[in-house]
Amino acid sequence: MSTFLFNRIIFGPVRSRRFGKSLGINLLPVTHKVCTYNCIYCECGLTLEEIEKNREWPAREEVKNKLELWLENMSRNNEPLPDNITFAGNGEPTLHPAFPGIMDDVLELRDRYCPRTRVTVLSNATIANRPLVRQALTKADNNVLKLDTGTETMFRLLNRPPKNLKLEEVIETLTLFKGQLIIQSMFVQGYINGQYIDNTVPGETTPWLEALLRIKPKEVMVYSIARGTPVEGVKPVPFMQLVKIANMVKIARIQAEVY
């Protein structure tokens, strides 16, 4: 199925299901995806180990200059300012070695050019156990971190993390934010390589909810795929099924929305 990569550092603005008019920041290479996960549903495609070893990061100064130029042009042309400036792009943004410093640069430019715009990060939290990364994430207005499942088996099938990374470690990292985060959870179904995968069944949603109760997020974003996936057989979950999952979260007194 079709997937795509972002071919520049600053992209958009795009209309986001979750964040309105969003100006994107891609801190990853434009030629391939760089991520600690290899999710079966990722719109940017698969994580390829052979090119993971040769990463070329955009320089911190280049990111700052390009964002400033973009915001200056929007202001000069009287274009509507974005609702969000969003760290997204071709993989996991916190992998960039200068991520904490870039976060400070983005906040500075936001305050100067568009103080009503919110800064959002979409991350899988796999390296948020590093204090500087975690501190940078908490500076965002929307610190959006991934948790798709509460079981190790589904974690392996859905997110395909490194062999040495366990789901419990990710959950423990998420608890370190002391509630200053939003959880995004992707739900999918389908036969993948001859095996049926479904993280909407009670055997999956119950331990997922138990993890949420430990994490205590401000909000949970419940959603399913809306674009192409790199693995054949991945199907979106019907809307009303997502609503039932969100309602389960609300009953547990955690805010939840379907996107």
Q: Is 146 part of a structural domain of the chain?
A: yes
Residues linked to residue 225 through DSSP beta bridges, in sequence order: none
CA dihedral over 149, 151, 155, 161, signed as positive or negative: positive
Domain count along the chain: 1
The dihedral built from the CA positions of residue 79, 81, 82 and 85, taken in this order, carries a sign that is positive
- Greatest alpha-carbon span in the chain: 55
Domain annotation covers residue 53: yes
Residue 1 located in a structural domain: no
Q: Domain range spanning residue 211?
A: 10-258
Mean pLDDT, all residues of the chain:
92
Determine the average pLDDT of the residues in 244-256.
Answer: 98
- Cβ neighbours, 10 Å, residue 137: 24
Joined together, the tokens standing for residue 164 give: 């040495």
Per the domain annotation, does 178 fall within a domain?
yes
Nearest to 64 by CA among 127, 17, 20, 109: 109
> pLDDT tens digits, residue range 66-122?
999 999 998 888 888 899 999 998 899 999 999 999 999 999 999 999 999 999 999
Across 157-196, b (16+ Cβ under 10 Å) vs e yields bbbbbeeeeebeebbebbeebeeebbbbbbbbbbebeeee
pLDDT of the residue at 15 = 85
**Which CATH number do you get for residue 200?**
3.20.20.70
pLDDT the model gives residue 95: 95
164 within some domain: yes
Quote the percentage of the chain above a pLDDT of 70: 96
> Do residues 146 and 168 touch, judged by C-beta distance below 8 A?
no
User: Which token pair is 200?
Assistant: 């909407």
The residues, any chain, with a CB within 8 Å of residue 84's CB and separated by 6 or more, are 16, 19, 20, 21, 22, 23, 117, 118, 119, 120, 142
Question: How far, in Å, CA of 74 to CA of 249, rounded?
Answer: 39
pLDDT at 116: 95
249 belongs to a structural domain: yes
**pLDDT at 3 (0 to 100):** 64
Whether the Cβ atoms of residue 200 and residue 189 lie closer than 8 Å to each other? yes
5 inside domain: no
* Per-residue pLDDT, 53: 54
- pTM, whole model, 2 decimals? 0.92
165 domain residue, yes or no: yes
Sign of CA pseudo-dihedral 59, 62, 64, 70: negative
At 38-68, the pLDDT tens digits run 999 998 878 876 445 556 899 999 999 999 9
My answer on whether omega of the bond before 13 falls inside 30° of 0, hence cis, is yes
